[in-house]
Amino acid sequence: AVFAFSTIIGWSYYGERCAAYCLGTRIIPTYRAVWITAVVIGAIFKLDLVWAFADLFNGLMAIPNLVALLLLSPVIFSETRKFLARH
């Protein structure tokens, strides 16, 4: 139980800091409300449904990363060519 509680607190803080960095500090109360709701839902729903939601949201986290990779691909290719030309 201690590990579960410390994990919830740790991820809550990490997510809050990320949300504040990306969206500004005004988002923190909204983030906390969503986080508390998610914790309560996770505690009362069936485990299969909780894992399905966890998998869904973990997959959705890939979208901003893929968009950034696509937008930065010209820079990545250019820098890679420069690096390979030197070595």
- How many domains in the chain? 2
DSSP one-letter string for 5-73: HHHHHHHHHHHHHHHHHHH-GGGHHHHHHHHHHHHHHHHHS-HHHHHHHHHHHHHHTHHHHHHHHHHHH
Model confidence at 20: pLDDT above 90: yes
Domain residues for 27?
1-44
Same domain, 56 and 69: yes
**Global pTM value:** 0.68
Same domain, 13 and 52: no
Same domain, 53 and 87: yes
Same domain, 75 and 64: yes
Same domain, 33 and 56: no
Spell out where the chain has E strands: none
pLDDT band at residue 1 under the 50/70/90 scheme: confident
Same domain, 40 and 21: yes
Please, what is the end-to-end C-alpha distance for the chain in angstroms? 53
Mean pLDDT score, 17-45? 95
The predicted-structure confidence for 51-71, as pLDDT tens digits, reads as follows 999 999 999 999 999 999 999
Same domain, 25 and 58: no
